[in-house]
């Protein structure tokens, strides 16, 4: 049997499934293989930030995300405690408070959804949109040539071949694909091994004050998935079931509640960023590209989902013939510095117990800067120079090319962000720009919030299909159509 597809995704975790979802949403013929039959019964990620919420909103998935009772969505608070019911004494803030805190950055909210609930939602949506998702199917080997990639995969029956134009390696932190390609990693490396016990207990009353993470004296780290399930992270050794129950009761600080152990886990916590995010027709995404421990910021899955989003529109544009393959080089140029910055921030932030040493001395970036204020510098952006910081709050960027277009409500329920995602968009409020957009072949959107984009009333910003600003003209140039056409062709690696 030979299956042909445009993009083969290997790995059905959060990064791979998101890649399949975003590509299917853009009409790309995509096939995903995942060796397991479903999600792991022991979830890892639970906190998804509002930027990920925005990406889900664009695919129409936001309303399907379950509400959770974990703190205020992603803003999970962490304290030291004698026990869950006992004295709490030292709240840890890992991100400096926003300098200007009354800004509404996003139309979306972060959500607390356990990974084993999130993955099926993404998978179902991807399937609805036409992705071919093959669970219980393992990729055995792969090779690439000038025209494409060939993989041998195996499901229930005999091995068969999948031929694709491109391959997305979302095969997790051990990434056999990355290893086979000989791609090295830079970073902390191995940090520690943890044991975990996942259990169900009626403890919701202890979440009322919005604190969801507890560093329990002498026991370990206790947190919740917000759906009645809790996880206690313990030192790495073997525990009998009776010992686990005893530890759970110690952590809770009372032993008169029913506790049901669901499963246990053993986790190798490490950190590293791949030294290249692509090799020929193969792209690394998610933990395969960067392993970012969850201890300070919950970057791992969120950054992986954003990788998938960054790659999806580029692959769609190249496969659709609108952009030259050189556009794909901007994936590494844009996403690797983001992962490297996250890696740095993880070790610069205080995790409340300094398990892996004292925080490193580095500039601390606000969570809002990390979620909404990353800067991309690549050939798909015009005018993002080396003098600019790698991240800052959106209001300080003020519409800088290379950053995510700012959010403002255009009308109730409709954000500026809702104008983007499908294709290239020029935002402006001037008839000459409307004509220029027509001539350049980009969608024109008239908006009043030009100031937010750092534009005069005669200016315009060109926004990419991922909602990032590619270029802007603060004022009206002599030849708007010429300026726009050149900017569009250059930043999109356009073939037209
Ligand atoms: C305890 C813990 C808590 C965490 N909490 C958070 C959090 O709150 N927020 C956050 O953002 N991140 C968190 N993370 C990190 C997050 O879980 C990971 O970054 C994320 O799940 C990685 O997703 P992925 O899709 O890249 O990789 P994975 O989830 O590892 O998926 C890779 C998939 O590839 C499959 N695969 C591998 N090889 C093959 C093959 N040859 N053929 C077919 N399939 C293959 C595997 O079976 C696997 O399903 C946490 C991590 C840990 C350990």
Q: In the block, which residue shows the tokens 């972060």?
A: 110
- Ligand 1 pocket mutation, candidates 94, 113, 301, criterion most atoms within 8 A of CB: 301
Residue 260 lies in a domain: no
Secondary structure of residue 347 in the 3-state scheme: helix
Task: Rounding to the nearest 10 degrees, give the CA dihedral for residues 479, 481, 487, 493.
Answer: -140
For ligand 1, whether the C-beta of 76 sits within 6 Å is no
Binding site membership of 45 for ligand 1 (Cβ less than 6 Å): yes
For residue 357, count CB atoms less than 10 angstroms from its CB and return exposed for 0-12, middle for 13-18, buried for 19 or more.
Answer: exposed
Tell me whether residue 75 is in a domain: no
Q: How far, in Å, are 83, 198, 378 from residue 470 at the CA level?
A: 50, 45, 10
- Ligand 1 pocket member 297 (CB < 6 A): no
> Exposed, middle or buried, 443 (CB in 10 Å: 0-12/13-18/19+)?
middle
Tokens 């399930």: give the residue: 229
Q: 463 lies in a domain?
A: yes
390 lines ligand 1 (CB under 6 A): no
Q: Report the atom number in ligand 1 closest to the C-alpha of 173.
A: 30
Query: Is the CB of residue 287 below 6 angstroms from any atom belonging to ligand 1?
Result: yes
- For 305, residues 6+ apart whose C-beta sits below 8 A from its C-beta are 14, 15, 18, 48, 52, 55, 286
From CA 471, how far away is CA 491, in angstroms rounded? 8
| Cα-based distances in Å from 250 to 17, 189, 227, 265 | 38, 32, 21, 19
Cα gap 299→368, rounded to integer Å = 13
Ligand 1 proximity of 232 Cβ (cutoff 6 Å): no
Atom of ligand 1 nearest to the CA of 196: 1
Q: Are residues 296 and 435 in the same domain?
A: no
Q: Given ligand 1 and candidates 14, 168, 302, which is best to mutate, with the most ligand atoms within 8 Å of its CB?
A: 14
Site to substitute for ligand 1 among 42, 171, 308, most atoms within 8 A of C-beta: 171
Count of domains in the chain? 2
| pLDDT tens, residue by residue, 56-102 | 999 999 888 776 544 443 456 788 999 999 999 988 777 766 555 67
CA angle 120, 126, 131 (to 5 degrees): 125
Q: Does 183 sit in the ligand 1 pocket, CB within 6 Å?
A: no
Regarding whether 298 and 409 lie in a shared domain, the answer is no
Integer Cα distance of 144 and 252 in angstroms: 53
pLDDT tens, 318-328?
Answer: 999 999 999 99
Residues 324, 469 within the same domain: no
Distance of CA 292 to the CA centre of its chain: 12
DSSP helix/strand/coil, 24: helix
Among protein residues, the one with the nearest Cα to ligand 1's atom 27 is 172
Query: Do residues 116 and 51 share a domain?
Result: yes
* Cβ atoms of 236 and 191 closer than 8 Å: no
Residue 387 is assigned to a structural domain of this protein: no
pLDDT value, residue 74: 42
Q: Are 186 and 180 in contact (CB under 8 A)?
A: no
Q: Which among 31, 45, 134 is the best mutation to test ligand 1's pocket, defined by most ligand atoms within 8 Å of the CB?
A: 45
**440 within domain boundaries:** yes
Angle between helices 299-319 and 14-25 (to 10 degrees): 30
Domain contains 88 = no
Based on the domain organization, do 123 and 48 belong to the same domain?
Answer: yes
Q: What is the mean pLDDT of the chain?
A: 93
Last residue of a domain, which of 313, 333, 348?
A: 348
pLDDT for res 73: 38
pLDDT of residue 100: 58
Ligand 1 nearest atom to the CA of residue 40, by list position = 49
**Mean pLDDT per 10-residue section of the chain, whose length is 496 residues:** 96 98 98 96 90 94 70 62 92 68 86 91 97 98 98 97 98 98 96 95 88 91 92 96 96 95 95 98 98 86 97 98 98 98 91 72 90 97 96 95 97 96 96 98 96 97 98 97 98 92
Residue 172 CA to ligand 1 center (angstroms) comes to: 5
Domain boundary (314, 348, 382) is at 348
Residue 477: φ, ψ to 5°: -80, 175
What residues make up the domain containing 477? 404-491
Q: Write down which residue in 348, 367, 394 finishes a domain.
A: 348
Could you tell me if 330 and 460 lie in one domain?
no
Same structural domain, 342 and 431: no
Assign residue 64 a region (left: φ > 0; alpha: ψ between -120 and 50; beta: otherwise): alpha
Nearest-atom number in ligand 1 for the CA of 303 is 11
| Cα–Cα distance, 186 to 382 (Å, whole number) | 29
CATH of the domain at 428: 3.40.30.120
Task: Let me know if residue 354 belongs to a domain.
Answer: no
Pocket test for ligand 1, best of 44, 71, 179 (most atoms within 8 A of CB): 44
Q: Are residues 279 and 343 in the same domain?
A: yes
Shared domain for 131 and 20, answered yes or no, is yes
Alpha carbon of 468 to ligand 1 centroid (Å) = 26
In this structure, are 452 and 306 located in the same domain? Answer: no
Ligand 1 centroid–CA 441 distance in Å is 39
Residues 306 and 442 in one domain: no
Query: Is residue 360, in this structure, part of any structural domain at all?
Result: no
> What's the CATH number where 178 sits?
3.50.50.60
**Residues 460, 341 share a domain:** no
**Residue 358: CB atoms within 10 Å:** 8
Backbone angles phi, psi at 45, to 5 degrees: -65, 150
């Amino acid at each position: 049997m030979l299956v042909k597809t445009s993009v083969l995704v290997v790995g059905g975790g959060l990064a791979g499934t998101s890649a399949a979802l975003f590509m299917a949403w853009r009409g790309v013929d995509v096939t995903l293989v995942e060796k397991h039959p479903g999600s792991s019964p022991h979830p890892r990620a639970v906190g998804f930030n509002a930027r990920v919420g925005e990406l889900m909103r664009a695919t129409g998935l936001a309303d399907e995300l379950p509400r959770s009772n974990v703190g205020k969505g992603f803003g999970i608070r962490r304290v030291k405690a004698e026990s869950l019911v006992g004295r709490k004494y030292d709240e840890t803030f890992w991100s400096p408070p926003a300098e200007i805190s009354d800004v509404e950055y996003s139309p979306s909210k972060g959500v607390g959804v356990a990974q084993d609930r999130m993955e099926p939602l993404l998978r179902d949506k991807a399937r609805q949109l036409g992705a071919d998702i093959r669970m219980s199917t393992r990729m055995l080997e792969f090779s690439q040539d000038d025209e494409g990639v060939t993989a041998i995969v195996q499901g229930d029956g005999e091995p068969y071949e999948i031929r694709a134009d491109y391959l997305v390696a979302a095969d997790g932190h051990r990434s056999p694909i990355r290893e086979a390609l000989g791609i090295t990693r830079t970073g902390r490396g191995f940090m520690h091994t943890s044991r975990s016990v996942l259990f169900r207990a009626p403890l919701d009353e202890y979440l009322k004050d919005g604190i969801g993470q507890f560093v329990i004296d002498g026991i370990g780290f206790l947190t919740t998935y917000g759906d009645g399930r809790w996880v206690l992270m313990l030192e790495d050794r073997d525990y009998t079931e009776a010992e686990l129950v005893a530890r759970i009761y110690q952590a809770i600080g009372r032993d008169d509640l029913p506790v049901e152990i669901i499963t246990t886990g053993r986790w190798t916590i490490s950190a590293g960023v791949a030294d290249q995010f692509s090799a020929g027709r193969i792209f690394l995404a998610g933990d395969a590209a960067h392993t970012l421990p969850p201890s300070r910021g919950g970057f791992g899955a969120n950054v992986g989902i954003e990788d998938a989003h960054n790659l999806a529109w580029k692959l769609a544009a190249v496969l659709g013939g609108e952009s030259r393959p050189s556009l794909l080089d901007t994936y590494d140029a844009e996403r690797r510095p983001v992962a490297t910055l996250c890696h740095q921030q993880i070790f610069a932030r205080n995790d409340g117990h300094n398990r892996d040493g004292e925080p490193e001395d580095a500039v601390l970036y606000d969570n809002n800067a990390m979620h909404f204020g990353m800067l991309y510098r690549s050939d798909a952006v015009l005018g993002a120079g080396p003098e600019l910081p790698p991240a800052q709050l959106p209001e300080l960027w003020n519409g800088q090319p290379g950053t995510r277009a700012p959010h403002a409500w255009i009308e109730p329920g409709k954000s500026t962000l809702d104008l983007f995602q499908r294709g290239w968009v020029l935002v402006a409020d001037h008839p000459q720009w409307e004509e220029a957009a027509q001539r350049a072949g980009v969608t024109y959107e008239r908006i009043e919030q030009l100031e937010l984009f750092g534009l005069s009333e005669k200016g315009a910003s060109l926004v990419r299909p991922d909602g990032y600003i590619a270029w802007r003209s603060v004022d009206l140039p002599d030849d708007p159509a010429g300026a726009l056409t050149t900017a569009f062709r250059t930043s999109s690696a356009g073939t037209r």
